């Protein structure tokens, strides 16, 4: 379900299962990540030819394409709840003939099977990250790199942080930060 908030932004509502298996409703606004930030996210995650990149809340698939086309990732998988954005990404995947390397799944990111992921990218909110954190702690393998744009994983120790105002960015704010985590080091001391 979606609605316009009166400020020109479409707000999407969706449900998910949290750690207590309760159904809860949240609001998520999709905002495309600027290209310069995407490149820095994938650079900081050290994406290479052996990597399988998962983007949770993948929108129009721009991180997936950059991971495969610019960084040579073996595969990229996106989870996106909005069907319209999935359709846009799927069309672009077909047009680029990348069906073997990029998958877009129209589904709830909380249901994602992350067992193949070597890199996970996030551009979610604080509350969503907090609810997602136990899944990431339980369902990711050692050495998985998790990169979150703007919102930290509370209780985790970042391997690195980048204040993006040091980049030459056309879009974005001065307080934009990219948080880089490595499994299990990020939470082993929690």
Cα–Cα dist 24/151, whole Å: 20
Range of the domain at 53: 31-182
Report yes or no on 20 lying in a domain: no
In a domain, 114, yes or no: yes
Q: Domain for residue 35, yes or no?
A: yes
Q: What is the pLDDT of residue 161?
A: 67
Is 23 within a domain? no
CATH at residue 41? 3.40.50.150
Beta bridge partners of 155: none
Q: What's this model's pTM, rounded to 2 decimal places?
A: 0.81
What one-character-per-residue DSSP string does 65-127 give?
HIIIIIT--SEEEEEES-HHHHHHHHHHHHHTT-TTTEEEEES-GGG---TT-SEEEE---HH
CA distances in angstroms from 122 to 6, 8, 17, 59, 110, listed in the order given: 26, 24, 18, 11, 12
Considering the domain boundaries, does residue 6 fall inside one? Answer: no
Q: What does the pLDDT read at residue 143?
A: 94
Q: Does 157 fall in a domain? A: yes
Instruction: Please report where in the chains the tokens 């990431």 appear, as a residue.
Output: 136
Inter-residue long-range contacts of 14-23, CB under 8 Å, 24+ positions, other chains counted: 14/81, 14/108, 15/108, 16/108, 16/109, 16/110, 16/111, 16/131, 17/110, 17/111, 18/110, 18/131, 19/131, 19/134, 19/135
Tokens representing 168 are 């030459």
**Does 141 reside within a domain?**
yes
Question: Do 42 and 62 meet the contact criterion of CB atoms below 8 Å apart?
Answer: no
Query: What pLDDT sits at residue 112?
Result: 94
Q: Structurally, how many domains does the chain consist of?
A: 1
Is residue 145 domain-resident? Answer: yes
Binned average pLDDT, 10 residues per bin, the chain of 190 residues = 36 37 48 87 95 96 97 97 94 97 95 96 92 94 94 88 52 68 81
């Amino acid at each position: 379900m979606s609605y316009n908030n009166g400020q020109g932004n479409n707000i999407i509502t969706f449900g998910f299962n949290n750690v207590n298996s309760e159904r809860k409703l949240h609001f998520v606004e999709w905002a495309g990540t600027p290209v310069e930030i995407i490149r820095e996210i994938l650079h900081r995650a050290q994406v290479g030819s052996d990597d399988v990149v998962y983007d949770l809340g993948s929108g129009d698939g721009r991180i997936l394409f950059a991971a495969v086309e610019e960084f040579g990732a073996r595969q990229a998988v996106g989870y996106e709840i909005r069907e319209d954005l999935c359709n846009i990404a799927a069309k672009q995947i077909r047009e680029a003939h990348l069906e073997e390397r990029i998958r877009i799944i129209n589904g709830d990111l909380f249901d994602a099977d992350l067992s193949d992921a070597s890199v996970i990218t996030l551009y979610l909110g604080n509350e969503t990250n907090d609810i997602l954190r136990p899944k990431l702690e339980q369902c990711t393998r050692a050495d998985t790199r998790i990169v979150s744009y703007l919102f930290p994983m509370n209780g985790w120790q970042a391997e690195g942080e980048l204040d993006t105002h040091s980049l030459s960015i056309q879009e974005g704010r001065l307080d934009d930060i990219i948080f880089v985590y490595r499994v299990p080091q990020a939470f082993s001391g929690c």
